[in-house]
Amino acid sequence: MRRRSLLVAPVVLMLGIGLAGCDSKAGIAAQANGHRIAETELAKYVGPNAAPIPLQNNASAPARTFVLNTLITDEVVPEFLRDNGGDATAAELAGARASLLQGGSEQDLTEELGKVGLNAAFEPIYLKAGLLRSIIGTRFKSQADFDAALKKFTPSVSVNRRYGSWDTQTLGLTDLSSKDLPSFVKLDGGLPGDQTPTQ
């Protein structure tokens, strides 16, 4: 169904929902390349009844985490593209837009985001992140080339631990796991990041 895919398509490249570091400053969700992302900024885009956002493999992400990942993408991925072929061109953006919207419109995408409780103001930010990630996919001839580029890429990103951590090798947030907790904290159950992904 086209409408469901409009929401999921850009998320496919978000997999590995992850980041290293922790910003302990009150009210700061993350910092990416010097840009602070405040908790209040996340609140602007997440409605009061926001649902977990569906991802691949029957996984989901809390709405605030999903929004934060998107905002960090908008700060980090342009730098990655610049390092690997230059800024996104108008032609690349147009091609990516057609592919991601799949014949639908931005209004369709806004409606899909609204169904999971994300505000209309989030749509252009989400679409931009999806376009940038799609362009990454067209710039590399092989997975090996992409992996080699990631190894050389060193963005400055820190994230409040409540949202997990940033993984430079996936350009995305990863769920908080037991290894992210202080050694004196013991849990009876596991955390989302402790789960082994299904193939």
pTM, to two decimals: 0.76
Position 131 in a domain: yes
Position 10 in a domain: yes
Position 197 in a domain: no
Q: What is the pLDDT of residue 26?
A: 65
> What residues contact residue 145 under an 8 Å CB cut-off, 6+ apart?
none
Q: What is the pLDDT of residue 41?
A: 94
- What confidence tens digit (pLDDT) does each residue in 25-76 have? 568 999 998 999 999 999 999 998 898 888 776 778 889 999 999 999 999 9
Long-range contacts of 72-75 (CB under 8 A, 24+ apart): 72/19, 72/30, 72/32, 72/37, 72/157, 72/159, 72/166, 72/173, 73/14, 73/129, 73/132, 73/133, 73/171, 73/172, 74/125, 74/128, 74/129, 74/132, 75/32, 75/33, 75/35, 75/155
- Beta-strand relationship, 165-167 and 35-38: unpaired
- What confidence tens digit (pLDDT) does each residue in 158-188 have? 999 888 888 888 888 886 544 444 444 444 4
Q: What is the pLDDT of residue 24?
A: 46
What range defines the domain where residue 187 resides?
2-192
How many domains, the chain? 1
Position 198 in a domain: no
Using CB atoms within 10 Å of the CB of residue 104, give its burial: 0 to 12 exposed, 13 to 18 middle, 19+ buried.
Answer: middle
Helix, strand, or coil here: 124? helix
Position 199 in a domain: no
CA distance 171 to 40: 23
